[in-house]
Amino acid sequence: QGQAERRPDLATLMVVNDAINQQIPTLLPYHFPHDQVELSLLNTDVSLEDIISESSIDWPWFLSNSLTGDNSNYAMELASRLSPEQQTLPTEPDNSTATDLTSFYQTNLGLKTADYTPFEALNTFARQLAITVPPGGTVDCGYSACQPAV
């Protein structure tokens, strides 16, 4: 898929310093209204969940007869600090039981492989996700795969 197909607006965009140096997360779904709320709340050191808990007369919602009611789900969504689109990611159907994960790794990490072993090298994993590894090359993620490639 070429640039013209993915971004047909590229030819009309102005090349200015602000546009070139603006960082936009591309690996997760972006939701502008949620981002604006999070940035505003970040400056006040208060979460959206805290605001709702202080202003709602029936809080805490999760203390109901059913721990899986609509309000408890809503409370979990508020506490997650994830945008609506990002909240769908952890609840996607599990495809880890598939016998061949080649298409999963090809689609999501851009590497044609049937298992995770190429990603055991941190540098490979970081390169495929287009992220940088901090100096020293270690990331504390709880898995041996997060050790740097030697």
Write down which residue in 64, 88, 112 finishes a domain: 88
* Residues 74 and 107 occupy one common structural domain: no
- What pLDDT was estimated at residue 142? 46
CA pair distance 51, 65, nearest whole angstrom: 24
CA pair distance 141, 58, nearest whole angstrom: 38
Structural domain range at position 126:
102-146
Q: Looking at the whole model, is its pTM more than 0.75?
A: no
Residue 122 lies in a domain: yes
Q: Which long-range CB contacts under 8 A does 82-90 form with residues at least 24 apart?
A: 83/29, 83/30, 83/31, 83/34, 83/35, 84/31, 84/34, 85/29, 85/30, 85/31, 86/28, 86/29, 86/31, 88/29, 89/28, 89/29
Structure tokens at 19: 């546009």
CA-based radius of gyration for the chain? 20
Structure tokens at 31: 């939701």
Residue 2 lies in a domain: no
Residue 14 lies in a domain: no
Residue 1 lies in a domain: no
Mean pLDDT, consecutive 10-residue segments, the chain of 150 residues?
66 74 67 86 83 74 56 72 80 68 81 82 80 64 46
- What pLDDT was estimated at residue 66? 54
Count of domains in the chain? 2
- What pLDDT was estimated at residue 116? 79
Find tokens 């202003």 and name the residue: 55
Residue 112 lies in a domain: yes
Residue 114 lies in a domain: yes
